[in-house]
Amino acid sequence: MSVDFPVLAAGPLHVPVDTLTAWPNARVRRGQPRLIELMHELDATVVIEGIETQEHLAIALNSGCDLLQGYFLGEPRYVKEV
């Protein structure tokens, strides 16, 4: 059986992940790198949004995401630029 995902065929995905709602506790944070890894397997670009503190930045930098965004940083940046 074949399943067609038209959104995946349309090109790269940009998946935003909001740090404030996605990482409310340590248990959820432990799963975050795997979720990001799965998105990369789908050729998605993962954007961590909502970076408003140094703690958010530290979590995001260790997550494996591609882009960072939030008031703490200003405009979106590639991880390699931070």
Read off the tokens for 39. Answer: 């998105």
Helix (H, G, I), strand (E, B) or coil at 54: helix
- Each residue of 16-51: pLDDT tens digit? 666 555 566 777 777 778 888 988 898 888 888 888
How confident is residue 4, by pLDDT bands cut at 50, 70 and 90? very low
Confirm if 49 and 41 have CB atoms less than 8 A apart: no
How confident is residue 9, by pLDDT bands cut at 50, 70 and 90? very low
CA distance 65 to 22: 13
pLDDT of residue 10: 47
